[in-house]
Amino acid sequence: MLNYLRQLDHLELARQFKRFLFSGALNTAVTYLLFLVLLRFTSYRIAYTVTYACGILIAFIFNSYFVFRREYTVRMGFAVIFTYAVQYLYGIVVLALLVDLSGAPASIAMIVVILTAFPLQFLILRRVVSTLPKKRR
């Protein structure tokens, strides 16, 4: 019985990760395009911050309703904001290191940030969200 429950948990984890990949890819595509547009008018720091805020809103909607299927609550909102604040700090530091110290173009450095932060974000978010009530059917 315990093995069966573990298998179910692994299946649910796999399903959540697939939904996270899909919604994250869509969110990333939208916010990356916005980042590129904003780079024409402002610094990479401001562009990153603005697109990151937009991405949090999109992620909150996707993660609540589609990925983890949790109740839309203030607590869920704070959970998402907390996890994305951690990822923001990671991203802005990596961007600064790549752009300012190594001379990489901001457009390429952003891709590195996205690829390295994505799995980290899933693990942090899943850990935090797993404590929240499930969505009622």
- What are the sequence ranges of the domains in the chain? 16-129
Q: How confident is the model at residue 124 (pLDDT cuts 50, 70, 90)?
A: confident
Output the pLDDT for position 126. Answer: 78
Per the confidence metrics, is the pTM higher than 0.75? Answer: no
Angstrom distances, CA of residue 93 to CA of 69, 96, 118: 31, 5, 15
Output the pLDDT for position 73. Answer: 73
More confident residue, 8 or 120: 120
Using one digit for the tens of pLDDT, what is the confidence trace for 48-89?
999 989 998 898 888 777 887 766 677 777 877 888 888 889
Using one digit for the tens of pLDDT, what is the confidence trace for 87-119?
889 999 999 999 999 999 999 999 999 899 888
More confident residue, 18 or 63: 18
Backbone phi, then psi, for 70, in 5-degree steps?
-115, 160
Q: Could you tell me if residue 55 is left (phi over 0), alpha (psi between -120 and 50 degrees) or otherwise beta?
A: alpha
Q: Within the chain, where are the H helices?
A: 2-39, 44-62, 74-96, 106-129
Output the pLDDT for position 78. Answer: 81
